[in-house]
């Protein structure tokens, strides 16, 4: 709503000059245009979709209180506009009396157009608050400009309430309905994979989100202004602010978390058999490795003397029992229970296979040492043979001693290692003259 421009003179001043004919005509033209703008604004306010929704809604809380005050303000607005209209029509009638208005006409027009020539009834004068204005509540007198200022303020406050409520209703219920539809699809999918209230935490969360969305929608419909955040910039424009979507956003994030969890359960359903087969294979390899380690331990104890051989644990009975439980969950389509169990089993099965391999390595270490000593002994004998020294009596004697130790059972690794070392020393001493002679000949 616009405000008419200043008219010549100062309203309310006794010595203000009387308007001349041209000033009167300009003021009437300006006020006529202002009248059209005010009427258009009031009719648009009357037909605003938000206003019709507020009139037909069962309101509560903040919205109920503010809409009651806004309805009173709108009633006052029309009363003020009626007074404005009557005054403008009276001024036009005076101006239409004659082409060249008389001094009396000009004085009367000056009072109507510039001075406090508008009488406002008491209820409209106090803005609908119920406070009496003027003697015995008969009303007050205003200039047209002051009247427009009052109408502008009432209009802005009324429109602010209507626009804010309409913005919340246009934003939140539609979003809530879309999220509720997505929630129903997620619930149906979750139930198909066993994610149900009382059986899975995500099922309980779905119930809580369902209740929250129902409460949120009812509250938004009944009290939209409770979900309106005024503009932080301090803007006085009607509707300056935004809908508060905090509760909706939290529900949407919670539903997204549940959707991801249900998707993970669905993935389990799709590849459960493959994962179970892999688990059986890993545990089978772990069992075979442990069996091999136990057999190797018996061999080591029989063939190696004076050696500490670690004990070998039994098969992972608990893991096999849990694997059987996982297979049962799959058979009964308890995917929500199968999902975390498979994740745990896969990690523990790999750990068990790694442990079995380490156990086999630790148990067979003495055999590996014996094999390395045998290889070293034969390698030195072959080297001596290439130099024609294999028949040396000392070397033959030390070789036989080391060989008997390494090929006897049980084998004393410490003594055998010492015997191999003595053979190496003798071989090294025997090879020195050969190397010196080779250098002399060159």
Query: Tell me, what's the pLDDT at 392?
Result: 83
Mean per-residue pLDDT, 23-41 = 86
The model's pTM is: 0.59
Q: What is the mean pLDDT of residues 198-205?
A: 84
Q: Among 232, 78, 238, 222, which Cα is nearest to 158's? A: 238
Mean per-residue pLDDT for 196-210?
88
Q: How far is 38 from 251, CA to CA, in rounded Å? A: 44
Distances (CA, A) of 74 to 77, 154, 240, 265: 5, 7, 20, 58
Q: In which element (H, E) is residue 167 found?
A: helix 144-192
| pLDDT at 283 (0 to 100) | 92
pLDDT in tens, 340-368: 888 889 999 999 999 999 888 888 888 88
Measure Cα distances from 129 to 54, 136, 161, 294 in Å. Answer: 21, 16, 18, 97
DSSP per-residue string spanning 6-61: PPSS-TT-TTPPPP-HHHHHHHHHHHHHHHHHHHHHHHHHHH-HHHHHHHHS---H
**Number of neighbours of residue 335 by Cβ within 10 angstroms:** 24
- Asked if residue 235 has pLDDT above 60, the reply is no
Q: Where are the alpha helices (DSSP H) in 48-143?
A: 49-56, 61-95, 103-113, 122-125
- Say how far apart CA 426 and CA 295 lie, in whole Å: 38
Residue-level pLDDT at 239: 64
Tell me how many degrees the CA angle 110-113-116 measures, rounded to the nearest 5: 90
* Cα-based distances in Å from 143 to 40, 102, 207: 21, 22, 62
Q: What is the pLDDT of residue 11?
A: 43
| Apex 118 CA angle, 117 and 121, nearest 5 | 145
**Contacts of 328-331 spanning 24+ positions with Cβ under 8 A:** 330/272, 330/273, 330/276
Could you say which DSSP state residue 408 is in?
S
What is the model's pLDDT at position 77?
A: 92
What does the pLDDT read at residue 14? 47
What's residue 70's pLDDT? Answer: 93
pLDDT given at position 233: 57
Residue 381: pLDDT over 70: yes
The two tokens of residue 255 are 């539903």
Q: Place 9 in a pLDDT band, splitting at 50, 70 and 90.
A: very low
* pLDDT, position 29: 87
Say if residue 424's pLDDT is above 70. Answer: yes
**From the CA atom positions of the chain, what is the Rg in Å?**
51
**Quick one: DSSP state of residue 227?**
G
Nearest Cα neighbor of 165 from 53, 30, 35, 77 is: 53
Pairing of strands 411-412, 304-305: parallel
What does the pLDDT read at residue 211?
A: 95
Mean pLDDT of the chain: 83
Residues 64-111 pLDDT 10s: 999 999 999 999 999 898 888 888 888 888 877 878 877 887 777 777
Most confident region among 148-152, 171-175, 272-276, 383-387 by mean pLDDT: 171-175
pLDDT of residue 136: 40
Q: Could you tell me the sign of the dihedral formed by the alpha carbons of 386, 388, 394, 397, in that order?
A: positive
At residue 155, φ and ψ (nearest 5 deg) are -65, -45
Nearest to 378 by CA among 332, 325, 424: 424
Q: Which residues pair with 141 in a beta bridge?
A: 119
**CA–CA dist 115, 184 (Å, integer):** 67
- Tokens matching residue 419: 């015997």
Q: What is the mean pLDDT of residues 421-435?
A: 81
- Give the integer Cα–Cα distance in Å for 116 and 134: 14
Separation CA 242–CA 250 (nearest Å): 17
What pLDDT was estimated at residue 117?
64
Buried b (16+ CB within 10 A) or exposed e, 149-180: ebbbebbebbbbbbbbbbbbbebbeebbeebb
């Amino acid at each position: 709503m616009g405000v008419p421009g200043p008219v010549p003179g100062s309203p309310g001043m006794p010595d203000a000059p009387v308007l001349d004919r041209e000033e009167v005509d300009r003021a009437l033209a300006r006020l006529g245009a202002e009248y059209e703008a005010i009427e258009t604004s009031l009719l648009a306010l009357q037909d605003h979709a938000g206003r019709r929704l507020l009139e037909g809604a069962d309101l509560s809380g903040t919205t109920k209180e503010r809409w009651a005050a806004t309805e009173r303000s709108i009633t006052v607005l029309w009363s003020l506009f009626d007074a404005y209209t009557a005054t403008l029509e009276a001024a036009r009638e005076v101006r239409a009396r004659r082409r060249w208005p008389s001094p009396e006409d000009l004085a009367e027009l000056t009072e109507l157009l510039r001075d406090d020539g508008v009488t406002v009834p008491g209820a409209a004068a106090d803005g609908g608050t119920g406070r009496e204005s003027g003697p015995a509540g008969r009303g007050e007198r205003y200039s047209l400009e002051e009247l427009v200022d009052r109408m502008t303020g009432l209009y802005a406050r009324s429109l602010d309430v209507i626009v804010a409520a309409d913005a919340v209703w246009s934003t939140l219920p539609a979003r809530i309905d879309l999220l509720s539809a997505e929630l129903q699809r997620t619930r149906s999918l979750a139930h198909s994979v066993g994610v149900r209230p009382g059986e899975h935490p995500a099922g309980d969360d779905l119930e809580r989100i369902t209740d929250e969305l129902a409460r949120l929608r009812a509250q938004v419909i009944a009290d939209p202004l409770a979900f309106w955040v005024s503009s932080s910039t301090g803007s006085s424009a009607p509707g300056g602010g935004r809908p508060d979507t905090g509760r909706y956003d939290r529900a949407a994030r919670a539903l997204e978390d549940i959707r991801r969890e249900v998707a993970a359960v669905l993935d389990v359903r799709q590849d459960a058999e493959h994962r179970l087969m892999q688990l059986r294979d890993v545990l089978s390899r772990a069992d075979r490795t442990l069996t091999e380690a136990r057999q190797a331990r018996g061999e080591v104890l029989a063939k190696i003397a004076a050696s500490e051989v670690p004990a070998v644990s039994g098969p992972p009975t608990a893991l096999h029992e849990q694997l059987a439980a996982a297979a049962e969950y799959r058979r009964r389509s308890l995917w929500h229970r199968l999902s975390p169990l498979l994740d745990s089993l896969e990690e523990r099965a790999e750990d068990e296979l790694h442990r079995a391999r380490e156990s086999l390595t630790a148990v067979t270490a003495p055999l590996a040492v014996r094999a390395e000593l045998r290889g070293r002994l034969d390698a030195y004998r072959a080297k001596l043979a290439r130099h024609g020294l294999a028949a040396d009596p000392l070397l033959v004697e030390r070789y036989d001693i080391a060989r008997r130790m390494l090929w006897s059972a049980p084998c004393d690794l410490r003594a055998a290692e010492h015997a191999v070392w003595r053979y190496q020393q003798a071989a090294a001493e025997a090879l020195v003259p050969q190397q010196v002679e080779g250098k002399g000949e060159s």
